[in-house]
Structure 1
Amino acid sequence: MARTTRQVSVDDSKPASANYHANALARGLALLEMLAAASEPLTLSDFSDATALPKSTLVRLLAVLTEMEYIVRIDERPSYRLGHKVHRLASSYVSTLDLTVVAQEYLRPVAAGTGQTANLGVLDGDQVLHIGVAEPDRPLRFTTALGSRDHTYCTGLGKVLLSGLTEEQVARTVPAEPFAAFTEHTITSIEDLYRDLRRTTRRGYALDDNERSSGLRCVAVPVRVGGDCLAALSVSGPAGEFGTTKQHEYVAALAEVVEKMAVDPDFTTALRIVHRSLRSAGA
């Protein structure tokens, strides 16, 4: 006896809360998502093949979406593309995203869990821009201001961001040698910096070991979106609290958080917007 395979239906992924009346809404939204994922207009047959819905049902759903201008019928096959109202929704979504607000959902637990100051930074020209800061509830802590800037070659955030660049790009980003020394531990030559960046890449995190300020240590990890390092996440605090064991604990905690950041569409969208705006401003 021949074995038959049931065609996957769009209804298989509908929300559990969808009742008889809401099911039509769920189906309509699924059609919009199909159009958004497609590289070209979709025909009625395309929808039918992908959803397992009767063509009569699809015709009604597509007619409503067309009348409400969320999709546009472009020929007699018929085939459809997204309409201008989808752009309005997307623009409204983007305009309400604030990376500093979205990031706080991640930074506050990091600061509370480690007892150290959590920082989120991006590369802005030749500087690190702090776009997120959360301080622990304790008297002795590292303090920095949201929106403040710092050097790249002597900070954990900066070294993570530099490690994603080529040596030629690094050379164009850092100041002329010798770099300004803030402590006796500050790296002041490009060759020493290259070596530190190679170590950063191998181990997966950067260390600021009393390099920016005496008595302060920091560990930082990359925040990757789609394989690109768009930001860095760190914890900073008193050097005595950053022994080898503690450093590894902090790095593990940061790594867990950046994994969650990478799959949060609000966070990744907001981060890409900030990244594009900084790149455009520096062009």
Structure 2
Amino acid sequence: MPRQPSKPPRGAVDEARPASANYHANALARGLALLELIAAQGKPLTLSEFSDGTALPKSTLVRLVAVLTELDYLVRVDDRPSYRLGHKVQGLATAYLATLDLSTAASPHLLPVAEQTGQTANLGMIDGDQVLHACVAEPDRPLRFTTATGARDHLYCTGLGKLLLAQLDSELVAACLPVQPWPAFTESTHTTLEPLHRELLAIAGRGYALDDNERSAGLRCVAVPVPVRGETGESFAAISVSGPTGEFAPAQQQAYVARLRQAAADLAADPEVAAALRLAQRSLRPPGRAE
């Protein structure tokens, strides 16, 4: 049986208007609420459905819809009448996306992590067969891990990379990796798929990844997923902290993981960060080995 469209939730739109709104500002807030209601429902709405969703009287809705239609923010689509979003909304959305910058949006969430842990915080995403450092925040201390926003690194030997690989199907994991054996950067680096595969299963089970002197001797890193989901349900971004091995004892690692999980939840709950992450993902190479 086909799924029926959900009925707009009834709620008083005036309850959410700004406290300082005068008559004209209140009309603007009501008009914007109509646009938000259509966007949330994902289908054309009638005046009755607008009334159900906003608790506004139909006489008020007729005036608001008339203005929005005249300005091309709404388009009438049938004789009931019902209305969908107009092309002016697309123009606003395009302009909004054009001004989004992931590093700028994510920095307010990463900076407190770096300050509170004393370690370098990093937001990463897969770009083909590499991990992209999409945003970096370094602590204010002389001894710290240093990298830069926009830098790239290997997937198989970094905390961010292994966390992101653990989100993928095993066939796709193999496609992201170099020809075996892989370059060994330290004595701890995995150089073949079998031990890495076992570790990825462990990462998926416990929910965080550890780079234990694998990319650089004397450096440890812990990473957790950012719960913004891709089309197939995987987390396609991760957040980490990196620093001197001696400052990542087991108890300290767990404290870092707890702080990272809080930051990851805050990143996912920030609508600008979530939109910027999805926009960035579309601009990156899908997971897979570079040709």
With normalisation by structure 1, the TM-score equals 0.93
Quick check: 1:258 aligned with 2:261? no
Q: What does 1:36-55 align with in structure 2 at a 5 Å threshold?
A: 36-55=39-58
Cα distance change on mapping 1:66 and 1:120 into 2, 3 Å:
same
2:129 to 126, 129, 146: 126
More deviation in 73-82 or 99-108? 73-82
1:248 to 254, 269, 274: 254
The alignment of Structure 1 onto Structure 2 pairs a total of residues equal to 277
In the TM superposition, what whole-angstrom CA distance separates every residue of 1:125-149 from its partner, at most 9, and x where no partner exists? 1111111111111111111122111
Amino acid at match of 2:280: V
Please say if residues 168 and 234 of structure 2, whose CA atoms lie closer than 8 Å, have aligned partners that are also in contact. Answer: no
How far apart are 1:281 and its partner, in Å?
11
2:138 to 135, 138, 144: 135
Percent of aligned pairs with the same residue?
65
Match of 2:95 in 1: 92
Please say if residues 129 and 287 of structure 2, whose CA atoms lie closer than 8 Å, have aligned partners that are also in contact. Answer: no
- Structure 2, unmatched stretches of 5+, are 1-9
Q: What does 1:177-196 align with in structure 2 at a 5 Å threshold?
A: 177-196=180-199
SS of residue in 1 equivalent to 2:161: helix
Match of 1:238 in 2: 244
Match of 2:5 in 1: none
How far apart are 1:178 and its partner, in Å?
1.4
- Structure 1, unmatched stretches of 5+, are 1-6
Match of 1:4 in 2: none
Q: What does 1:37-186 align with in structure 2 at a 5 Å threshold?
A: 37-186=40-189
CA distance, structure 1, for counterparts of residue 276 and residue 52 of structure 2: 35
How far apart are 1:224 and its partner, in Å?
1.9
More deviation in 236-245 or 69-78? 69-78
CA distance, structure 1, for counterparts of residue 218 and residue 287 of structure 2: 35
Post-superposition, which runs of at least 4 consecutive aligned residues in structure 1 deviate over 6 A?
Answer: 280-283
How far apart are 1:203 and its partner, in Å?
1.2
In the TM superposition, what whole-angstrom CA distance separates every residue of 1:76-115 from its partner, at most 9, and x where no partner exists? 3221111111111111111000001111111111111111
More deviation in 50-59 or 190-199? 50-59
Amino acid at match of 1:273: L
SS of residue in 2 equivalent to 1:160: helix
Q: Which has the higher contact order (CA 8 A, sep 6+)?
A: 2
Amino acid at match of 1:278: L
Quick check: 1:15 aligned with 2:24? no
2:207 to 204, 209, 226: 204
In the TM superposition, what whole-angstrom CA distance separates every residue of 1:157-193 from its partner, at most 9, and x where no partner exists? 0000000011111111111221111111111121100
